[in-house]
Amino acid sequence: MRGIKAAALKPLIERKSIRKFERKPISKRILEKLVEAGQRAPSNCGVQAYSLIVVEDDEKRDLIFEAIGRQGCMEEAPVWIVICCDWARPLKLFEMLGVDTELGQTYKLVLGIIDATLVAMNIVTAADIMGLGSVFVGSIWRSPRKIARILELPANVLPFLLLCIGYSSESPPKRPRWPLQAVMHENRYIMPDGRMMRSYYRGANRALLEMNYFKKGVHSWAEHWSRKFNKKDMAPYEKNLRESLKKMGFLP
Ligand SMILES: Cc1cc2nc3c(=O)[nH]c(=O)nc-3n(C[C@H](O)[C@H](O)[C@H](O)COP(=O)(O)O)c2cc1C
């Protein structure tokens, strides 16, 4: 690839999640630019089923901490953006226009999450290009209804990701990825063989150990995943998530 093209891809190829931030605010002008870039993401039928709630207010932040717990990156980041899939606004417009629709709950969930996630990732890339760092926090899934109440979201709006943004004060190493051959298939799916799996896992695990990724008492990615996704914790998590999504009208 010619040098100039490789350089253009740098914001994507070199992107890393950032969890430590300078105590420096982000101007409204920059935030608006980020959201504008986010909005250029493709959208199913052009409905743009998303809303972005910028949270800088300390009282709201405290309520969100209470609802989903604290993480260092949340405490440090000057700006949070709560990413929501939002059918309330498109449906209101449909109603005004007399557009007769019958959107199923699962459709609203899946397509809304696709639309909103594409916007979120555009914002991450735009932030990187503008010299800002960011990290997603997924724990909103633990209490989407509480977050909806705190942010005064109407029915048909589902908060599902929190994006912490700020000026980076760290330069972490790149985290591992599967080799290209494992994720890119030609015309048909081929499961990587055991040798490739082991070789990927060993290399990735070594890299993570070197960057002190694991919490105290955890020595491997396998151990990390076993703790994180264990049956005992996952079953109530799944139950709570289903119930929340049903109550919010995003699952039948
Ligand atoms: C849906 C989602 C939820 C995430 N939640 C968290 C989180 O709660 N805390 C955190 O520190 N990182 C979180 N991350 C960031 C991942 O840990 C990170 O992307 C992954 O370790 C790969 O590292 P990289 O982004 O630097 O390549 C989340 C990422 C995604 C996509």
Q: What is the CATH number of domain 13-174?
A: 3.40.109.10
How far is ligand 1, taken at its centre, from the CA of residue 12, in Å? 15
DSSP H stretches of helix in 69-104: 72-76, 88-97
Which of 234, 42, 47, 247 lies closest to 158 in space, CA to CA?
Answer: 247
Residue 3 has a pLDDT of 62
How far is ligand 1, taken at its centre, from the CA of residue 243, in Å? 25
β 79-86/157-166 pair status? antiparallel
Residue 178 to residue 199: CA distance in whole angstroms:
10
Residue 6 has a pLDDT of 81
How far is ligand 1, taken at its centre, from the CA of residue 135, in Å? 6
Name the phi and psi angles at 166, rounded to 5.
-175, 180
Q: Which residue has the tokens 């260092």?
A: 72
Residue 44 to residue 121: CA distance in whole angstroms:
16
pLDDT one digit per residue (tens) for the chain, 252 residues: 556 678 889 999 999 999 999 999 999 999 999 999 999 999 999 999 999 999 999 999 999 999 999 999 999 999 999 999 999 999 999 999 999 999 999 999 999 999 999 999 999 999 999 999 999 999 999 999 999 999 999 999 999 999 999 999 999 999 999 999 999 999 999 999 999 999 999 999 999 999 999 999 999 999 999 999 999 999 999 999 999 999 999 999
How far is ligand 1, taken at its centre, from the CA of residue 37, in Å? 21
How far is ligand 1, taken at its centre, from the CA of residue 151, in Å? 23
SS3 content of the chain, % helix, strand, coil (to 5): 55, 10, 35
Nearest CA to ligand 1 atom 9: 137
- Pocket flag, ligand 1, residue 17 (CB < 6 Å): yes
Residue 43 to residue 147: CA distance in whole angstroms:
25
- Pocket flag, ligand 1, residue 136 (CB < 6 Å): yes
Enter the tokens of residue 131.
């010299």
- Pocket flag, ligand 1, residue 137 (CB < 6 Å): yes
Which residues, in sequence order, are CB contacts of 174 under 8 Å at separation 6+? 14, 16
Cβ distance 74 to 137 under 8 Å?
A: yes
How far is ligand 1, taken at its centre, from the CA of residue 92, in Å? 34
- Pocket flag, ligand 1, residue 70 (CB < 6 Å): no
Task: For the beta carbon of residue 178, count every other beta carbon within 10 angstroms.
Answer: 14
Cβ distance 166 to 79 under 8 Å?
A: yes
Residue 7 has a pLDDT of 86
Domain boundaries, the chain: 13-174, 180-210
CA atoms within 13 A on the CB side of 60: 15
- For the entire predicted model, the pTM comes to 0.96
Residue 205 has a pLDDT of 97
Pocket test for ligand 1, best of 19, 125, 137, 160 (most atoms within 8 A of CB): 137
How far is ligand 1, taken at its centre, from the CA of residue 138, in Å? 8
- Pocket flag, ligand 1, residue 220 (CB < 6 Å): no
- 68, 154, 32, 165 alpha-carbon torsion, rounded to 10°: 10
